[in-house]
Chains A and B, each alone.
Chain A
Amino acid sequence: MINMKIGDWLILVFSLMLIPLSWSMTKHQPGTSSAIEINVSDQQALTYSINKDQKINVAGKLGNSIIEIYDGKVRFSHSPCNGKICILSGWHQRSGDHIVCLPNKISVSLLSQEDRFDGINF
């Protein structure tokens, strides 16, 4: 039906080899974070490694919040605020995520190596 030349066969064979190659090359690696940054109102930011399990006591505007690092994840485990939104937001581990406690003026950012955007829309 369709006459193929030698170059067509070559291109076709190499292209078909490209399919499994491209699938195996792009194993999805989620952007995990390696460090967190804690900001308290307008003070200098504090940076901690996320690989060392620890509980950090941070003095905010209302009182002390406890930020817990465990197994590469981070959360607010105690907060003097009323809403407890920061605690309820739970564990975070993706780079670029933020946990913010507005009443106590504390925010935790998960740092990443590269700039991270979900996407840009117009």
Chain B
Amino acid sequence: MNKPLEITDEDRKIAAFAALAITIHVLESAFPSPVPGVKPGLANIITLLVLFRYGWRFAVWVSLLRVIAGSLLLGTFMSPTFILSLSGALASLLVMVLLWVAMRRWVSLVGVSVLSSISHVMAQLVVAWWLFIPHPGILVLTPVLITAGILFGVFNAIIAAAIEKRLTNS
């Protein structure tokens, strides 16, 4: 009765890319940030790359695995940090998938990266306000986070595109 779980080639690819994303995620969290909440989100480069090469299902897997396994490694699983991280990831994945599936013809990595980055930030702000800091003072962070989100969104897309180019050339 116990059929061994079949591991497909796809699973291995997901695992490998998720491992890469988790590594970046953990390394990035070791660097202090001058402004609380502002992070480049370099692990998203992997999500973008996977989205571009293998489609949105892959991207969802890699992103969620990164959030969950990354939080286990950092010891933040089920903490507010984790909840914020997860809500940001879910929001940005939603935008990513919608853009990629419905508007594939008109957008490429830059648009997807910037818009998903903004939705990541907004989702985190809403959840933070709703669950942890019910004070209008948190709105003061909005412009800072949006600005950083857009800048890093473009930055990440450029890196992802550069990696993609090298991968196709090699």
Are B111 and A5 touching (Cβ within 8 A)?
yes
Check: A88 CB closer than 8 A to any chain B CB. Answer: no
State the Cβ distance, A6 to closest chain B Cβ, in Å: 5
Are B106 and A5 touching (Cβ within 8 A)?
yes
Check: B55 CB closer than 8 A to any chain A CB. Answer: no
Are A120 and B158 touching (Cβ within 8 A)?
no
Q: How large is the interface on B (under 10, 10 to 19, 20 to 34, 35 or more residues)?
A: 20 to 34
Are B110 and A18 touching (Cβ within 8 A)?
no
Check: A1 CB closer than 8 A to any chain B CB. Answer: yes
| B118 / chain A contacts, CB cutoff of 8 Å | 15, 18
Q: Which of A22-30, A48-56, A57-65, A71-79 lies on the face that meets chain B?
A: A22-30
Check: A16 CB closer than 8 A to any chain B CB. Answer: yes
Q: Chain A: how many interface residues by the 8 Å CB criterion?
A: 30
Are A8 and B162 touching (Cβ within 8 A)?
no
Taking each of A2, A19, A22, which has the highest tally of chain B beta carbons within 10 Å of its own beta carbon?
A: A2
Check: B108 CB closer than 8 A to any chain A CB. Answer: yes
| Residue of B with least CB distance to A30 | B137
Give the contacts of B142-170 with A (CB-CB under 8 A). Answer: 142-143, 146-147, 150, 153-154, 157-158, 161-162
Contacts A19-B147, A117-B133 known; A12 to B140 CB distance under 8 Å?
no
Are B132 and A26 touching (Cβ within 8 A)?
no
Check: B73 CB closer than 8 A to any chain A CB. Answer: no
| A2 / chain B contacts, CB cutoff of 8 Å | 108-110, 157-158, 161-162
Are B162 and A1 touching (Cβ within 8 A)?
yes
Contacts A2-B161, A118-B135, A120-B132 known; A8 to B111 CB distance under 8 Å?
yes
Contacts A12-B114, A12-B154 known; A19 to B146 CB distance under 8 Å?
yes
Contacts A2-B161, A11-B114, A15-B150 known; A119 to B133 CB distance under 8 Å?
yes
- Tell me the complex Cα distance, A115–B137, Å: 12
| A26 / chain B contacts, CB cutoff of 8 Å | 139-140, 142-143
| B137 / chain A contacts, CB cutoff of 8 Å | 28, 31
Are A12 and B111 touching (Cβ within 8 A)?
yes
- Tell me the complex Cα distance, A8–B133, Å: 34
Residue numbers of B with Cβ under 8 A of A are 79-80, 99, 103, 105-111, 114-115, 118, 132-137, 139-140, 142-143, 146-147, 150, 153-154, 157-158, 161-162
- The contact sample of 23 A-B pairs, CB cut-off 8 A, is A1-B158, A5-B111, A6-B106, A7-B107, A7-B108, A8-B107, A11-B110, A12-B111, A15-B153, A16-B150, A18-B146, A19-B147, A19-B150, A23-B143, A25-B142, A26-B140, A28-B140, A29-B136, A31-B137, A114-B136, A116-B135, A122-B79, A122-B80
